[in-house]
Amino acid sequence: MSIGHTLLGLLESGPRHGYDLKRAFDEKFGHDRPLHYGQVYSTMSRLLKNGLVEVDGIEAGGGPERKRYAITDAGITDVERWLATPEPPEPYLQSTLYTKVVLALLTHREAADILDTQRSEHLRMMRILTDRKRKGDLADQLICDHALFHLEADLRWLELTAARLDKLAEVVTK
C-alpha cells in the first residue's frame, strides 16, 4: 500500500494534523499494521517537498508546533492517477514455501511434513480470520475475505503439490 497516496486521499476531505492523519489511517486501514508517527511525519515531509501538500496552518501548543496539512491540486491529480492505475497481480512465482519443499527434497527431508505443517498453519489462520470476519464491520469482512481467498488458493496449491511430490522429487533431484 502506498502510505503517501493514502494520506493524500485522507486529506481530500479537508486539512488535518499529522496526529489526525495517523488516527484516520489506523482506523480505516491499519487494524493489523498501524502507522508509526515517524512514518506519518516523514511521509508528509516528502509530500510537502514534492508539492503534493502544503502547510495550511501552524498551531502552538504545550509541545512542538502542530502543522495542519492540506492537499494541493497536484496532490489531487496524483491521487486520481494512483487510483486509476491497476495494481499488478501478484503471481507468487518465487514462493518461500515452494523453495522449502524443493530444498527438503534435495536434502532428503520429508517434504510432505512441510506441506502438512503449512496446511495446519493456513487452517489456523483461516479460523482466526473467519472469527474476525463474523465479528467485524463491513470493512473488516472485506479485508478478511481477501485474505481468506488467498489462503484458499494456497491450500489448493498445497494439495496439488502433495499429490505431485514424487514427480517433483524426480525432477529436482536429477
Q: Would you call 7 exposed, middle or buried from its count of C-beta atoms within 10 A (0-12, 13-18, 19+)?
A: buried
Q: How many CB atoms lie within 10 A of CB 104?
A: 19
Q: How many CB atoms lie within 10 A of CB 89?
A: 6
| 111-152 residue pLDDT tens | 999 999 999 999 999 999 999 999 999 999 999 999 999 999
pTM, two decimals, is: 0.73
Distance of CA 43 to the CA centre of its chain: 17
- Residues 150-156 have a mean pLDDT of 95
Residue 58 host element (H or E):
strand 53-59
